[in-house]
Amino acid sequence: MSGPAWSAGAPAEIDRRAGGVPARSTFPPLDELLAGFEAIRAAHPDLVRRRRIGTSRLGEPIHVYAVGGGPKQNLIVGGVHPNEPIGSLTVQHLIEELCADPGFREAFDATWHIVPCVDPDGYRLNEGWFDRPADRLHYARHFYRPAPDEQVEWTFPVDYKLAYFDRMMPETQALARLIDAVEPDVYVPLHNSELGGVYYYVSRACGPLFDILRAVPKALGLPLALGEPESGDLVAAADAIYLMFGFAHTYDWLEELGLDPVGPKPAGDSSTSYADRHGAFSLIAELPYWSHPASEDTRATEESYADLLARTGQSHVETGRVLTDVLAAAAPYLTLDTPLRRGAEAFAPGIADSGRAALARAAGPEAARPATEAERFSCEDVVHMFRLRFGSMTLQALEAECRAGLAPAELRRVARDLADVYERWQDDAVRATPADPIDLNKAAGVQYGAVLAAGALAAGLIDG
Ligand SMILES: [Zn+2]
């Protein structure tokens, strides 16, 4: 029984449980993940309820598993970005502990709704690297991230100024229906990052929660990410903790920078924005696979922040140009309309756009200050991340045509030339950023701790 442990001190109990995720060195393929949930349901038929919430585009059923019957509704969703599988370890451990420990269930006074994977098609397309996730080149070479308008996380409806989006995928519709049915008090879509330190997004500020969120990675030996945030419009509520903003905030920010806030193939709003309508407290934990000590080094460098933004922004423009040129040269010969190709075609101009955003920010007066070591590290690594990820997706799209016997000699030459460029990008990335793999159970442990902290906040176990 763990009830007394919670009332005696939720932070210590969260720390302890975050450290208790079992070790493993691979990510489960989808069949293994779902088999694990089914085994738990078979072992605890009185505790675990399963309900189908929808169907993937390729026809696979999507299920939610519910445990507990308390009044607080905690909704935890894996696979919102199918290239981010740390959550698969988190949800597996969460349902196991909920079933094994009555005191743990009672402490939260909640019904837990857990979706193991809301994008099964996209998850399966990433399984090529799950056997050796510690190897960054192997990971990137088999990487798949859906085009923005095919990501469950970013395909919720929008109607703002010139932006209009209502083309929700079946998976997104399934999640929207579930959010409306559950009316969550706590909503945690399970994301993760790639290289650096740990950071979070929250839907509202909460000091006592922030203390726990920063203590858990420290206890597990993971650095915080104190460098450049994912997007220049983000506002930090505390070190490594950002406030979530809706679509309108980013739209207005891009407009102010003089950039196109809509783009040729717009996506929609986030699932957390959608959960707002029910007053949910939303939390996202971003955990890397590889850590780097520079990610929390806030000492000033000799380079100005403006120069750093301009230098790395120019690199993004160049990466985007290389990939856009490759896709233009390949276009007359491409016959397969695959998710990898649609992703490659969306991200090539997207990389250049993010470069232009950095260049616009470099020209602003607030960029006239020294950059920190953490900012330099994170800005530089994103250059490598974009090249490794989206160079690979472009290459995979071309290789699919070659392997299927559909590629004329011209297309094979385009693919070979890109393979040469990609090899240089791989060498550059390895030289620039030695990747120090994080134990997967520690990364999942930080995410698990965040899920428990959000649940504890809703249950009144910590002050809000
Ligand atoms: Zn994500």
Tell me the CA–centroid distance for residue 261 and ligand 1, in Å.
20
* pLDDT, position 4: 62
Residues surrounding ion ligand 1 at CB below 5 Å: 81, 84, 191
Q: How many CB atoms lie within 10 A of CB 180?
A: 13
Tell me the CA–centroid distance for residue 146 and ligand 1, in Å.
11
Tell me the CA–centroid distance for residue 117 and ligand 1, in Å.
13
Tell me the CA–centroid distance for residue 308 and ligand 1, in Å.
25
Tell me the CA–centroid distance for residue 4 and ligand 1, in Å.
35
What are the phi and psi torsion angles at 3 (to 5°)?
-50, -55
Tell me the CA–centroid distance for residue 190 and ligand 1, in Å.
7
Chain position carrying tokens 């390729």: 58
- Reference 225, options 294, 296, 287; nearest CA is 296
Tell me the CA–centroid distance for residue 82 and ligand 1, in Å.
8
Euclidean distance between CA atoms 195 and 287, whole angstroms: 8
Mark 129-158 as b/e (b = at least 16 C-beta within 10 Å): bbeebbebbebbbbbbbbbbbbbbbbbbbb
Tell me the CA–centroid distance for residue 126 and ligand 1, in Å.
14
What is the tens place of the pLDDT at every residue in 165-193?
Answer: 999 999 999 999 999 999 999 999 999 99
Tell me the CA–centroid distance for residue 242 and ligand 1, in Å.
14
Tell me the CA–centroid distance for residue 122 and ligand 1, in Å.
13
Tell me the CA–centroid distance for residue 193 and ligand 1, in Å.
7
Tell me the CA–centroid distance for residue 255 and ligand 1, in Å.
24
203 to 118, 150, 270, 281, 322: CA distances (angstroms): 21, 24, 12, 6, 37
* pLDDT, position 1: 43
Tell me the CA–centroid distance for residue 46 and ligand 1, in Å.
34
Domains and CATH numbers, the chain: 3-292+438-458 (3.40.630.10), 300-432 (1.20.120)
* Global confidence as pTM: 0.97
Tell me the CA–centroid distance for residue 413 and ligand 1, in Å.
34
- β-strand pairing of 290-291 with 195-196: parallel
Tell me the CA–centroid distance for residue 102 and ligand 1, in Å.
32
Tell me the CA–centroid distance for residue 329 and ligand 1, in Å.
31
Per-residue pLDDT of the chain (464 residues; tens, 9 = 90+): 445 677 668 999 999 999 999 999 999 999 999 999 999 999 999 999 999 999 999 999 999 999 999 999 999 999 999 999 999 999 999 999 999 999 999 999 999 999 999 999 999 999 999 999 999 999 999 999 999 999 999 999 999 999 999 999 999 999 999 999 999 999 999 999 999 999 999 999 999 999 999 999 999 999 999 999 988 889 899 999 999 988 999 999 999 988 889 887 789 999 999 999 999 999 999 999 999 999 999 999 999 999 999 999 999 999 999 999 999 999 999 999 999 999 999 999 999 999 999 999 999 999 999 999 999 999 999 999 999 999 999 999 999 999 999 999 999 999 999 999 999 999 999 999 887 899 999 999 999 999 999 999 999 999 87
Euclidean distance between CA atoms 95 and 66, whole angstroms: 9
Tell me the CA–centroid distance for residue 404 and ligand 1, in Å.
31
